[in-house]
A and B are shown apart, each in its own frame.
Chain A
Amino acid sequence: MPIEKGRGSHGKAGVGRLPNLPMGVMISITLNGLKTRLSRAMVTAAGILLGIAFLSYVLTEMTLAGHVTEEQRARQWWLVVMALLTTTVGIANAMLMSVTERFREIGTMKCLGALDSMVVKLFIIEAIFIGIVASIGGWLLGWFFAILSRWSQFGWYAAVHPITLQNAVALAGICTGIGALLTLVATIAPAIRAAEMPAAAALRTDV
Chain B
Amino acid sequence: MSATEYIVRTKDVVKEFKMGQETLRALNGINVDIRRGEYISIMGPSGSGKSTLFNAIGGLDKPDSGSVFINDVDMAQLDANELAFLRCHTIGYIFQTFNLVTVMTALENVRLPTIFAGMTTDDGTERAIALLDMVGLGQRRHHKPSELSGGQQQRVAIARALANNPSIILADEPTGNLDSKTGTEIIDLLRKLNQEQGVTVISATHDFKMLDVSDRIIWIRDGTVDKIELRSDIDIKVGGMGGEM
Q: Is B24 an interface residue when CB atoms closer than 8 A count as contact?
A: no
- Provide the bound-state CA to CA distance between A6 and B164, in Å: 12
Contacting B at CB under 8 A, from A92-139, are 104-105, 107-116, 118
Assess A11 versus B78: contact at CB under 8 Å? Given A16-B89, A112-B88, A199-B60.
yes
* Residue among A15, A114, A201 making CB contact with B116, cutoff 8 Å: A114
The smallest C-beta distance from A110 to any residue of chain B, in angstroms, reads: 7
Does chain B have a CB within 8 A of A33? Answer: yes
Interfacial chain A residues near B118, Cβ < 8 Å: 1, 3-4, 18-19, 21
* B229 close to chain A: CB less than 8 A: no
Does A13 lie within 8 Å of B71, measured CB to CB? yes
CA gap between A33 and B102 in the complex, in Å: 11
Q: Which of B28-36, B79-87, B176-184, B210-218 contacts A (4 or more CB under 8 A)?
A: B79-87
**Which of A12, A108, A110 lies in contact with B101, CB distance below 8 A?**
A108
If A13-B73, A198-B62 touch, does A18 touch B95 (CB 8 Å cutoff)?
no
Find the residue from B85, B89, B101, B164 having the highest chain A CB count within 10 A.
Answer: B85
B236 / chain A contacts, CB cutoff of 8 Å: none
**Does A203 interact with chain B (Cβ within 8 Å)?**
yes
Q: Is B120 an interface residue (CB 8 A)?
A: yes
Given A13-B1, A18-B84, are A200 and B103 also a contact pair (CB < 8 Å)?
no
Q: Which residues of A contact B165 (CB under 8 A)?
A: 5
- Residues in A with CB closer than 8 Å to B88 are 18, 112-113
Size category of the B interface is: 35 or more
Q: Does A14 touch B at the CB level, under 8 Å?
A: yes
CA distance A3 to B71 in the complex (A): 19
B93 located at the interface, meaning its Cβ lies under 8 Å from any Cβ of chain A in the complex: yes
Q: Known contacts being A18-B116, A105-B101, is A111 close to B60, with CB within 8 Å?
A: yes
- State whether A198 touches B61 (Cβ < 8 A): yes
Q: Which residues 96-127 of B have a CB within 8 angstroms of A?
A: 99-101, 103-104, 112-113, 115-120
Q: Is residue B221 within 8 Å, beta carbon to beta carbon, of the partner chain?
A: no
A116 CA / B103 CA spacing, docked (Å): 21
Q: Which residues of B contact A198 (CB under 8 A)?
A: 60-62
On chain A, the residues within 8 Å of B226 by CB distance are none
Mask of B1-23 contacts with A, CB within 8 angstroms, 1/0: 10000000000000000000000
A115 to B113, CA, bound (A): 12
Nearest A residue to B55, CB-CB: A200
Alpha-carbon distance between A201 and B99 when the two chains are bound, in angstroms: 14
Give Cα A36 to B118, complex, Å. 24
Cβ–Cβ < 8 Å partners of A21 in chain B: 115-116, 118
Would you give the shortest CB distance from B197 to chain A, in whole angstroms?
15
A111–B77 Cα gap in the complex (Å)?
A: 19
B147 at the interface (CB under 8 A from A): no
- A18 to B, closest residue via Cβ: B85
Of A17, A19, A111, which is in contact with the most chain B CB atoms at under 10 Å from its CB?
Answer: A111
Given contacts A12-B77, A107-B99, 16 further A-B contacts (CB under 8 A): A1-B118, A13-B1, A13-B73, A16-B82, A16-B89, A18-B81, A18-B117, A25-B115, A29-B115, A36-B104, A104-B99, A112-B93, A113-B85, A113-B117, A114-B84, A199-B87
**CB within 8 Å of B: which residues of A?**
1, 3-6, 8, 11-19, 21, 25, 29, 32-33, 36-37, 104-105, 107-116, 118, 198-201, 203
9 A-B residue pairs with Cβ-Cβ distance under 8 Å, sorted by A, are: A5-B165, A13-B72, A13-B73, A37-B103, A109-B112, A111-B58, A113-B117, A115-B81, A203-B99
